[in-house]
Amino acid sequence: MAVLVVNAGSSSIKIAVFDEALTEVASGRVTEIGGASRVEVGDLRGARPVPDHAAALALCLEALAERGWGLDRLAAAAHRVVHGGAGLVVPCRVTPRVLAGIEAVVPLAPLHNPANLTAMRALGRLVPELPQFASFDTAFHATIPEVAVRYALPPEAEELGLRRYGFHGISYAGLVRSLGERLPERLLALHLGNGASLCAIRGGASVATTMGYSPLDGLTMGTRTGSIDGNAVLRLAEVHGVARAGAILNRESGLLGLGGASDMRELSRMGTARARFAREHFIYWAVRHAGSMIAAMGGLDGIAFTGGIGENDVAVRAGILDGLAWAGVGYDKAANDAGRAELTGAGSRVAIWTVQACEERQIAREAMGVMATETAGEGV
C-alpha cells in the first residue's frame, strides 16, 4: 500500500510517496508551472516546459514509474487542502460532493483551494481508477469552542463565513502523533516558518489558535503582518484600493516589511538594526500570543516547536523560552544550542521539545486510515 501525497500550489506541485510503513520512498516537485518551469522528480531535473498542473502530474507519474513506483504500486493519492470551511472537518475520500464542498469555500482561500481542486481533477482525468483522499489544514481546529471561533459581528456578516478557522492543522495533528505517550495535557505548539502560528492543544485537541479567518492573523510572519487593527486595514484599502492593500498585508509586510528580508536566516546574516528589530518583533509577538494560548488552556505542561524556524533557529527558540519563564519554563541552553529534540531544563515545570514537521507523512497516514475504515465497513 503506497500512497502518493500531492501538495498543489498555484504554480507548483510537490509530491511524495510513502510505503505502507509510512516511510518516504520518493519525492519531488515541479515549480513555476506555466512559466519558467523546473522539474525535480527522480531522474527528471532542470528546466523544461510544463504548461499546466495536469502536465506536471503526468511528469511526476512518469518519473515515479521509472523509479519503480508505477501506478500498479499506488493504492491512493492523498491531497493537502488548505481550507475545508465549517463542513469538511475530517479526512475523507474525494467524491463529487467533496469537490463541491472544497469549491464552495474558494472565497475563503482564493490562492490555495483552486490549486488543490486543479490537482484533484487533473489526477482524476489522468488516472480515473486511482482513489483520492483529502486532508484539510483547517480540520484540526474544528474542536475549538464556539466562543473562541466567532467574531463579534452581526448575523448578516457572519453569514459570509466570517469566523475563525485556524490553519497548520495537518502539522499540529502530526506533532500530536509524534509526541505519542509524551503528549502532555496542556501543550503549547508553535509552528514557526514563513507562515507561523501557535496552537493551544488540550487533551490532544485544539482549543485555540492564532490564525483566524485567514492565515494573515496572529504572529508576525515572513511577509504577512499578523494581527492588525481592522481600521488600519480599512485605511490601507482607502488609500491604495482593496487589491493593493491585500498585497501589502500578505506579501510585503511581516519580517520583509520590518527587516528587509522574509527569511530569518537572511535577517540573521544581515545584522542591521532593521533586521535585528524584525527578529525581536517576531519573538515578542510569539510570547504575547503564547500568553493568550496558555490562558485558553488554563495552564501549561509542555511546549513543542516545529517548522523551519521552530526546528532550526536557536536564538528565536531561546528568545521565546526566555519570555515564558514566568510560566515555569526552564530550558537546557546547551541542548537548545545543539538543536536537540529534548530541551527541558533541570527544575522546569514545563517539558520542551523540538519536533520535525511531518505534514506529508500525516496526510498519507490519514488517507490510509480512511481506507482502512472503508475496508472494515465493507467487511461488516
pLDDT along the chain (380 residues), means of 10: 90 93 94 90 88 90 91 95 93 96 90 90 93 97 97 93 95 97 98 96 98 95 96 98 95 97 96 97 98 98 97 98 98 97 97 95 97 77
Q: Residue 170 in contact with residue 137, Cβ under 8 Å?
A: yes
Q: Which residues are annotated as a binding site for Mg(2+)?
A: 7, 359
Q: What is the pLDDT of residue 379?
A: 57
SS3 of the chain: helix, strand, coil, percent, to 5:
45, 20, 35
Taken in order 25, 92, 207, 167, the sign of the CA dihedral is positive
Three-state SS for 258? helix
* Residue 353, strand partner residues: 304, 342
Please say if 229 is a catalytic residue.
no
Task: State the burial class of residue 115 (Cβ atoms within 10 Å of its Cβ: 0-12, 13-18, 19+).
Answer: buried
pLDDT score at 281: 98
What distance in Å separates the CA atoms of residue 361 and residue 358, rounded to the nearest whole number? 5
| Residue 107 confidence (pLDDT) | 86
Binding-site residues for substrate sit at 80
Spatial separation of the C-alpha atoms in residues 22 and 362, rounded to whole Å? 9
Binding site residues, as ranges? 7, 14, 80, 191-195, 263-265, 308-312, 359
- Identify the pLDDT of residue 369: 96
CATH among 3.30.420.40, 3.30.1360.20, 3.40.50.970, 3.40.50.2300 for 182-359: 3.30.420.40
Architecture (CATH level 2) of domain 2-136: 2-Layer Sandwich (3.30)
CB 267 within 8 A of CB 314: no
Q: Rounded CA gap, 233 and 246, in Å?
A: 9
Please report where in the chains the cell 488554563 appears, as a residue.
298
Please check whether residue 228 is in contact with residue 219, taking contact to mean a CB–CB distance below 8 angstroms: no
What is the CB neighbour count within 10 angstroms for residue 22? 14
Q: Which of 248, 252, 310, 255 is nearest to 277 (CA)?
A: 255
- How many other CB atoms sit within 10 Å of the CB of residue 308? 18
Q: Which residues in the chain are classed under CATH 3.30.420.40?
A: 2-136, 182-359
Nearest residue to 245 (alpha-carbon basis) of 213, 274, 216, 219: 216
Distance CA 256, CA 281 (A): 12
In angstroms, the Cα distances linking 301 to 1, 7, 189, 317, 347 are 38, 33, 11, 17, 13
Catalytic residue among 43, 72, 137, 337: 137
What CA–CA distance (Å, rounded) separates 86 from 372?
25
> Is 137:167 a contact under the CB 8 Å cutoff?
yes
Which residues are known binding-site members for ATP?
Answer: 14, 191-195, 263-265, 308-312
